[in-house]
Amino acid sequence: MNDFAASETLTELFRQREMHTPQHPVLAQRLPDGRWIRKKWHDFAEEVRRAATVFQQLGLQPGDRLAIAAPTGAAWQTAEWAGLLCGLTVIGLDEHAPEKEFAALLEDCQPDCLLATGSRRPSGAFLPEFPSKPLLMLDDEAASSRSPESWHDIVMNAEPAEDASLPAISSETVATWIYTSGTTGQPKAIPFNHAQWMAACRVLRDAFQSIESGEAILAWLPMHHLFQRMINLVALTQGCVTYFAPDPKQILKYIQEVRPPFFVGVPRFYEKLHAGIWGHIDQAPPFQRRLLEKSLAVSREYHRREADEDPIPLGLRLHHALVDWFVLSRLRRLLGGRIRYMMTGSAATPTKVLEFFDSLGLPLLEAYGVSECSVPVAANLPGQRRPGSVGKPLPTNEVKLADDGEVLLRGEGLFRGYVGRSPKDAFTSEGFYRTGDCGHFDADGYLHLTGRKSEFIKTSTGRRVSPLQVEQVYLRSSWIDELVVFGEGKPFLVALAVLSEEGHEAIRQSPHTPEETLMAALEPHSRELPAYAAVRRLAILLEPFSLERGEMTTTLKLRRPIIHGRHAALIESLYQTPVHEAEDVSASEALLP
């Protein structure tokens, strides 16, 4: 079989697939009646070439910028490949960004053509001068600026572009701009060329060789983000079929329908899934619930010994085999029944969630990447993993630690600078990128992250604390759904907490105040930390952190500055009563060291 990942450019990869596997399915779309319709390479390639003709007719030239603000779907992928064939720079924009942020992104990238959905039709969201450039709507809510037809109709009425009319593309041609998440400031644009994308494709192909031709890949993460587009590219390279989820809120339904062999998500999704499965267990009859809990306990001990490379007694092996076959396999059917492993990244995953999916027989592989590198920095792999770490550095990456623990990176997929911004201080004198993340390697070479360098808290007592590490300790509590720690320049740490359903129920039944009850429940976790790193006071929020309010990125990373700004008065109020006056404060303060 052809090694499609050996192609030097994305366009060469496209033509190789078009030539050698015309009847091979490449993607699938879900109809309103629940059926999934698959599209073969021949039909997909023809549609891409028709879209390329549309871009040419609009007067777009090689090097021009094509911005796409649309949900993950086949139309996004068709437009992307058409733009690449035309030598355009494809830029994904967050379609859910608040109007002000969206306008700022448009102002920054200055696209020569914009593809968007009706939710981004011409309004204050667009620059005043933008309508003078091509604006194409990817749904039927609005027409294009050049035609009363929808994007689909425009493409289907065009003739497929021939290779002779398309520009030559080199490995150094810029393929895309990726915007940073903007967790601490204005997002910055990062250009990646074809060589850098193909490097990532080869590394991921080699790392996950168990992905076989014809298998299903479920695409549901935002395509303006690097990771989902990279997964789609690997799927295309390996001959997998990409199933586009039309509504991310119904992802569990799609998993059961598509039954993929592996799944890619973000920590927040797995936290919700963990809570949902426990809800399913709690609703079972008492006998079944006890059986499920016992089975999970047996499996948890089995996998703990396996991870620690401790001897596993024969009795435990047999017991685990029985409960896995007769009990846990039924829970796995909630996720289609075929998943061999799942991947997670973008933020830390709570230990309780990792342990749960391990005990369920669904290994959750944590990975680590930065927007500034097309190749993921490190990843746990099937058969080579250490829960709690982000795995070992992937090939082509050279990773080392600075004296202060900052992760430094050099490699084939590393960016060369931001668009329009000087990369001042971003690189060491040896050419290593300063990631801003801190961590350490264990004795076996697995990388463990301890938090963002910029987010480390220095209290007024001079102690330096990683909020991420503190949060991970408290997130082990089944009462906590979300928790954010603060304390910069203050004498002690405080937190904002969002309760789980179990936490809400426990507090409803308690005669004490919610904060007193929660602090008492968290006391065992506080004792795991040094006194200066324990949360001394907290406030319970009535609603979770929100993407719409800007408190999270589209990959569900928390934006600490935004959260702090929104709740500044509440956070400050937690410091109003002096800690040493324990006899005059709530019962929760009496629990503190």
Residue 413's contacts (CB-CB under 8 Å, 6 or more residues apart) are 192, 196, 199, 200, 203, 373, 374, 375, 396, 397
Residues 221/5, Cβ–Cβ less than 8 Å: no
Task: Please check whether residue 312 lies inside any domain of the structure.
Answer: yes
Task: Please check whether residue 253 lies inside any domain of the structure.
Answer: no
Per-residue pLDDT band for 183 (boundaries 50, 70, 90) equals low
> Edge-to-edge strand order for the sheet containing 89-92?
135-137, 113-116, 65-69, 89-92, 174-179, 189-193
Question: By residue range, what is the domain housing residue 120?
Answer: 4-246
| Residue of 579, 583, 477 lying closest to 520 (CA atoms) | 477
Whole-angstrom Cα Rg for the chain: 25
What's the confidence (pLDDT) of residue 145? Answer: 45
234 and 116 belong to one structural domain: yes
Q: CA-CA distances (angstroms) from residue 308 to 364, 481, 549? A: 16, 28, 42
Tokens 């102002």 correspond to what residue?
107
What's the confidence (pLDDT) of residue 153? Answer: 84
Residues 410/433, Cβ–Cβ less than 8 Å: yes
SS (H, E, C) 536-582: EEEEEECCCCCCCCCCECCCCCECHHHHHHHCHHHHHHCCCCCCCCH
What's the confidence (pLDDT) of residue 555? Answer: 67
Task: Please check whether residue 472 lies inside any domain of the structure.
Answer: yes
330 and 225 belong to one structural domain: no
66 and 184 belong to one structural domain: yes
The answer on pLDDT for 168 being more than 80 is yes
Percent of the chain residues topping a pLDDT of 70: 91
Residues 107/126, Cβ–Cβ less than 8 Å: no
Residue 484, phi then psi, degrees to nearest 5: -130, 130
What's the confidence (pLDDT) of residue 280? Answer: 79
Distance between CA atoms of 343 and 263, rounded to whole angstroms?
6
Tens of pLDDT, residues 371-396: 999 999 999 998 888 888 999 999 99
Residue after which a domain boundary falls, among 405, 426, 453? 453
123 and 211 belong to one structural domain: yes
CATH of the domain at 534: 3.30.300.30
Residue 272's contacts (CB-CB under 8 Å, 6 or more residues apart) are none
Tens of pLDDT, residues 318-372: 999 999 999 999 889 888 999 999 999 877 888 888 989 999 999 999 999 999 9
217 and 275 belong to one structural domain: no
Tokens describing residue 578: 């002096």
Residue after which a domain boundary falls, among 413, 436, 453? 453
Number of domains in the chain: 3
Task: Please check whether residue 33 lies inside any domain of the structure.
Answer: yes
Task: Please check whether residue 217 lies inside any domain of the structure.
Answer: yes
Per-residue pLDDT band for 424 (boundaries 50, 70, 90) equals confident
Amino acid at 577: T
204 and 292 belong to one structural domain: no
Residue 100, phi then psi, degrees to nearest 5: -65, -40
Distance between CA atoms of 199 and 173, rounded to whole angstroms?
14
Residues 362/342, Cβ–Cβ less than 8 Å: yes
CATH of the domain at 315: 3.40.50.12780
Task: Please check whether residue 73 lies inside any domain of the structure.
Answer: yes
Tokens describing residue 472: 């991970």
Residue 28's contacts (CB-CB under 8 Å, 6 or more residues apart) are 36, 37, 38, 39, 216, 241, 242, 243, 244, 258
367 and 432 belong to one structural domain: yes
277 and 391 belong to one structural domain: yes
The segment with the largest mean pLDDT, out of 111-120, 129-138, 273-282, is: 273-282
Distance between CA atoms of 221 and 267, rounded to whole angstroms?
12
Residue 302's contacts (CB-CB under 8 Å, 6 or more residues apart) are 312, 316, 317, 320
557 and 512 belong to one structural domain: yes
425 and 312 belong to one structural domain: yes
Task: Please check whether residue 422 lies inside any domain of the structure.
Answer: yes
The answer on pLDDT for 553 being more than 90 is no
Task: Please check whether residue 260 lies inside any domain of the structure.
Answer: no
230 and 275 belong to one structural domain: no
416 and 491 belong to one structural domain: no
